[in-house]
Structure 1
Amino acid sequence: MPYAAVNGTELHYRIDGDRHGHAPWLVLSNSLGTDMSMWTPQVAALSKRFRVLRYDTRGHGHSEAPKGPYTIDQLSGDVLGLMDTLKISRANFCGISMGGLTGIALAARHGDRFERVVLSNTAARIGSPEVWVPRAAKARHEGMFALADAVLPRWFTADFIEREPVVLAMIRDVFVHTDKEGYASNCDAINAADLRPEAPGIKLPTLVISGTHDLAATPAQGRELAQAIPGARYVELDASHISNIEKLGEFTKTVLDFLTEPK
């Protein structure tokens, strides 16, 4: 498994597509409590048109979980550091939830490094201290199993959960084996991040995707984000929080159409 030492942290990453070819780069950033495997439904299609760089956010998957709390500066800095290590000067970006928040910071502060950005199931301010402080504390003191039954049902609609038990079991397996301190430290980063003042400064072509049934990053928040970014496009899918899995076909087509349309 390839690793890169970025900002004092070993980050696990994977590249799909011809890494030595000339296709544009696309960076994919995972949501809280998942890892790069959440993008499996999209990789085959995306890697036909892009060199796809996936990575496990610090504290997740096979990446290291250094002592926290983390900050959005660190999460966005990890992406830039990984791109620098791999000699990627410019890329497209797609992130879900926490990954989308990372994308807002990157697009607002480092627009020269990116072509187009997709911000999915996210907001410039996600949740509140009333959500994140007790959740981080529970992860640290009781572990990830104690959170699974409360968190995972919010990721998908009831119909999807009933219809796709194997998918849910695989996602649950990743969630409960996420490093508890890494998870809590990312909760700290999300809690501290309010990028609403920065979103209007994004000058890149931007697509915002929301899920109609998303309780974690609501459609209203998605529309607010899209309205704050000049020229941003807004698409709403009939899904909950992890829309790239629940509506994989629609999500993949929506993202591909946006990233490949002529300028």
Structure 2
Amino acid sequence: MTSDLHADLDGPPDAPLLLLGSSLGTTGAMWQPQLATLTQRFRVVRYDHLGHGRSAAPPGPYTIDLLGRQVLALIDDLGADRVHYAGLSLGGMVGMWLAAHAPDRIDRLALVCTSAALGPADGWRARAATAYAGRLDTIADTVVQRWFTPAFVAARPEIVAAYRSMLTATPAAGYAGCCEAIAGMDLRADLTAVRAPTLVIAAADDPATPPEHAADIAERIPSARLVVLDDAAHLANVEQPEQVGRLLAAHLDPEGAVTT
């Protein structure tokens, strides 16, 4: 299987590979705030989910299994046996699937502002219907309000506007298909199979995947570590770029080669 995913590669060509999975409605560009830190030690692969950015956007519905298998195909295309993986929101969901279903491919894992089961399913299917109808712009403001704290929205409106544009540029089939994947997802029983050393990061002010979702993940994954960040909502890596960068670097590079 050849991957249908677009990916941008940065960092030393001979460094260990680190895949970064983004949230629903964004692209790999979401990880720009951490790029300078992570490329000191890793060959960073920022991929776009199926149906997002410059990846293929086949008709839905999608499943987490499909999204995960696309990433496995990307890893094969890169010629890698094992990689590190960090993902936020939908990217974290894919990361959990990978670490549980292909444990021999994932070395170290970081999960940011995500959930192993995120209902209600009817809400996600309704959002998918809105996207299929070409009305993603009608829910964009509501979605973006959940991505950032009010203080950040007031202080950095230009960043908020850029992420809103990223959301509304997402292909309708891709956004809807991934909504349906989340609607049908329940990874909770799979998490005991994860063997990769795992860092779970939550944001105290995240209304989309509240800290209790992260706590549940950390309790189910053997030896996982949980960190909760203050003053951040769902896109914690954007609101708290230095903190997230430091946490990822320390976890993914335990020998301490990365400096921040």
TM-score between the two structures when normalised by the length of structure 1: 0.94
Give unpaired runs (5+ residues) of structure 1: none
Structure number with greater CO (CA < 8 Å, separation at least 6) is: 2
Determine if contact 1:139/1:146 at 8 Å carries over to the other structure: no
Separation (CA, whole Å) in 1 of partners of 2:236 and 2:140? 19
Please name the residue that 2:37 is paired with: 45
Q: Which runs of 5+ in 2 are unaligned?
A: none
- Number of the residue aligned with 2:245: 252
Q: For residues 14 and 58 of structure 1, what CA distance do their matches in structure 2 show?
A: 14
2:10 maps to which residue? 16
Supply the distance in 1 between the matched residues of 2:224 and 2:118 (Cα, whole angstroms).
Answer: 19
Give 1:247's aligned amino acid. Q
**Cα deviation 1:35-69 (Å, max 9, x = unaligned):** 01101111111011101111110110111110110
Aligned AA (2:44): V
> Counterparts of 1:90-239 in structure 2 under 5 Å?
90-238=82-230, 239=232
Alpha-carbon offset, residue 5 of structure 1: 4.5
Correspondence for 2:57:
65
Of residues 56, 61, 69, the one that matches 2:48 is 56
Please say if residues 91 and 114 of structure 1, whose CA atoms lie closer than 8 Å, have aligned partners that are also in contact.
yes
2:141·2:164 contact (CA, 8 Å) conserved in 1? no
Report the CA distance between 1:130 and its aligned residue. 3.1
Paired residue for 2:20? 28
CA distance in 1, matches of 2:177, 2:122: 16
User: 1:116, CA displacement in angstroms?
Assistant: 0.4
SS at match of 2:206: coil
Aligned amino acid, residue 250 of structure 2: D
Indicate the SS of the match to 1:54: strand
3-state SS of paired residue (2:189): coil
Residue by residue over 1:213-243, the C-alpha shift from the partner in whole angstroms, topping out at 9 and shown as x without a partner, is 1111110110011011110000011211000
Q: Give the deviation of 1:147 after TM superposition.
A: 1.4
Moved over 4 A (4+): none
Task: Give the root-mean-square deviation of aligned CA atoms.
Answer: 1.3
Alpha-carbon separation, structure 1, partners of 2:6 and 2:135: 23
Could you tell me whether the CA contact under 8 Å between 1:97 and 1:122 is conserved in 2?
yes
Once residues 131 and 245 of structure 1 are traced to their aligned partners in structure 2, the CA distance between those partners, rounded to angstroms, is 26
1:70 alignment partner, SS class: coil
Q: Distance in 2 between matches of 1:145 and 1:178?
A: 10
> Structure 2 CA distance, aligned partners of 1:162 and 1:137?
31
Amino acid at match of 1:193: M
SS in 1 for 2:133: helix
Instruction: Letter of the 1:115 partner, please give it.
Output: D
C-alpha separation in 1, matches of 2:166 and 2:24? 11
Higher alpha-carbon deviation: 137-146 or 153-162: 137-146
Amino acid paired to 2:105 = R
CA offset at residue 144 of structure 1? 1.6
TM-score, length of structure 2 as denominator length: 0.95
Distance 2:118 2:167 in 1: 19
